[in-house]
Amino acid sequence: MEIKVDRETLLKAISRVQGILEKRSHMPILSTVLLTTKGNDLELSATDLEIGFQNTYPAEVIQPGSITLSGKKLLDITRETNSPNIYISEKENNWVYISDGNAHYNLSCLPSDEFPVLTEPEGTIMIDLDGKVLSEMITKTIYSVTLEEAGFKLSGVFMEKVEKQGQEFLRMTATDGHRLSLIDKKVPDVEKIEIVSGVMIPKKGMVELNKLSSEEESVLIGFKQNNLVAKKGKALIIIRLLETKFPDYKNVIPVIGEDEKNVISIDKQLLLNAMRRMMIIRSDQYQGMKMSVGADYLEMTSVNPDLGNVEEKVEIKYAGEPIEVGFNPKYFIDVLQPMDSDTVYLTIKEQTGPCLITGDQDDGFLGLIMPMRL
């Protein structure tokens, strides 16, 4: 194989797959990218066996073929040059020559036929999803996915179809046992996708799907043979679904009536900034803060015996009974940051119950935080 490719194009392509490449795998081939010529284009593939990515980019093809290269080394080479073009040529005995016109690299590589084949399942029923809507759904749920190694059952985002007021919605839910995030969106043709009892999509896969959908274009998604398939333009992502059952979460969410009195109305940015200040003296041992709610104020107190304490009182609208309850301020920050509403509503029914967070500009979304014992 022999090609010349625009440096900016290659840098964008190779940067895109760094999150997929396995850095410390027992299979060295998973740390490489596969470069294959397709007519006058260059196809780049990357996989960790759980997520596969493929996209096609313009290139000057001098000699067709395919090679594997270390994804990290190719990124470093491309990033550190100011030349407009990168020249790549395959040599004998699994060596590759790379040049930007000034620097010249000879790199060893692995045989391209060892690279795992990325095969799109046949007959996948796809629906057209607005990229902005998909990105919003992912951003407003992914922060609740557990980071604990033992939490395999919760290590992804649960996607399902739900019926409300006679209409079918697409729902994403995530939880780590301490907080929960949920969003419902009405999307065209949602009834066509094959997720009868819901599917679990791994967090790493959702990060890659979010990259694909972050622009305001549409993304085709479908499910087949325990895989999520997503397409946009010439880009293809295949994500292996988690074989685990998401817990029954619906009983945890309190029902809110229209005449609910225990609803705190507060400026989102005011609350977000206050929570960040509560975090200043937080430590691994002392993570909680006390929230005291009165008729027109919310007082927050965080105490760390090793450092000191911090207190802050902010103005709210509230018609319920006074209440004191403990929470982790980081969980509030995670919920509030992706929200679009200027005013948010916190519903706390009782001292031992969760806090429900909603906003008028965050249609279909709710965040839930379980209380802490202080």
Vertex 329: Cα angle to 328 and 334 (nearest 5): 105
Tokens of 205: 């896969």
Q: What is the rounded distance in angstroms from the CA atom of residue 318 to the CA atom of residue 41?
A: 61
What pLDDT does 87 receive? 97
For the question of whether the overall pTM of this predicted structure is more than 0.85, the answer is: yes
**CATH label of the domain that carries residue 242:** 3.10.150.10
What is the phi/psi pair of residue 152, to 5°?
A: -60, -40
User: Above pLDDT 70, what percent of the chain?
Assistant: 98
The answer to whether residue 309 sits within a structural domain is yes
105 and 188, same domain (yes or no)? no
Neighbours of 239 (CB within 10 A): 25
Residues facing 69 on adjacent strands:
33
Q: Which of 67-76, 282-291, 315-324 has the lowest mean pLDDT?
A: 282-291
pLDDT tier at 149 (50, 70, 90 boundaries)?
low
Residue 327, beta-bridge partner list? 289
| Strand partners of residue 106 | 97
- Sign, Cα dihedral of 12, 17, 19, 21: negative
Report yes or no: 272 and 333 within 8 Å, Cβ to Cβ. yes
Task: Return the pLDDT at 137.
Answer: 97
Q: Which of 278, 277, 254, 266 is nearest to 314 (CA)?
A: 266
Tell whether 68 and 169 lie within a shared domain.
no
Residue 120 in domain: no
Domain that holds residue 335: 253-369
Are 105 and 180 in the same domain? no
Question: Considering the domain boundaries, does residue 16 fall inside one?
Answer: yes
pLDDT band for 262, please (50, 70, 90 cuts): confident
Q: Could you give the number of structural domains in the chain?
A: 3
In a domain, 277, yes or no: yes
Per-residue model confidence (pLDDT) at position 284 = 81
Using the predicted structure, report yes or no on whether residue 333 has a pLDDT greater than 90.
yes
Same domain, 231 and 164: yes
Please indicate, yes or no, if residue 274 is contained in any of the structural domains: yes
pLDDT at 151 over 60: no
Q: Is 161:170 a contact under the CB 8 Å cutoff?
A: yes
Percent of the chain with pLDDT over 90: 80
What is the arithmetic mean of pLDDT over 141-167?
A: 84
State residue 287's pLDDT score. Answer: 85
Q: What is the mean pLDDT of the chain?
A: 93
- For 48-87, write each residue's pLDDT tens digit: 999 999 999 999 999 999 999 999 999 999 999 999 999 9
Residues 43 and 57 in one domain: yes
Query: What single string gives the DSSP state of each residue in 104-139?
Result: EEEEE---GGGSPP--PPTT--EEEEEHHHHHHHHH
pLDDT score recorded for residue 216: 66
Domain end (from 224, 250, 276): 250
In a domain, 121, yes or no: no
Query: Of 217, 250, 283, which residue constitutes the final position of a domain?
Result: 250
| Mean pLDDT (whole number) for 248-274 | 89
pLDDT digits (tens, 9 = 90+) for 161-175: 999 988 999 999 999
Do 231 and 272 fall within a single domain? no
Confidence of residue 152 (pLDDT cuts 50, 70, 90): low
The answer to whether 348 touches 325, Cβ cutoff 8 Å, is yes
Residue carrying the six token digits 């972050």:
214
Residues 248-270, mean pLDDT to the nearest whole number: 87
For residues 97 and 164, membership in a common domain is answered with: no
145 and 234 assigned to the same domain: yes
185 in the same domain as 132 = yes
Mean pLDDT computed over 348-360: 92
Computed over its alpha carbons, how large is the radius of gyration of the chain? 25
CA pair distance 88, 97, nearest whole angstrom: 6
User: What's the pLDDT at 259?
Assistant: 67
- Within-domain flag for 374: no
Assess whether 335 and 295 both reside in one domain: yes
Q: Are residues 82 and 133 in the same domain?
A: no
In the DSSP assignment, the letter for residue 364 is: T
Please indicate, yes or no, if residue 119 is contained in any of the structural domains.
no
Q: Which of 84-98, 142-156, 328-342, 350-364 has the lowest mean pLDDT?
A: 142-156
**Contact present, 291 and 327 (Cβ < 8 Å):** yes
Burial of 355 (0-12, 13-18, 19+ CB in 10 A): buried
| Contacts of the segment 23-29: beta carbons below 8 A, 24+ positions apart | 23/72, 28/110, 29/68, 29/110, 29/114, 29/115, 29/116
Q: Based on the fold, state whether residues 305 and 348 are members of the same structural domain.
A: yes
Domain end marker among 209, 235, 250: 250
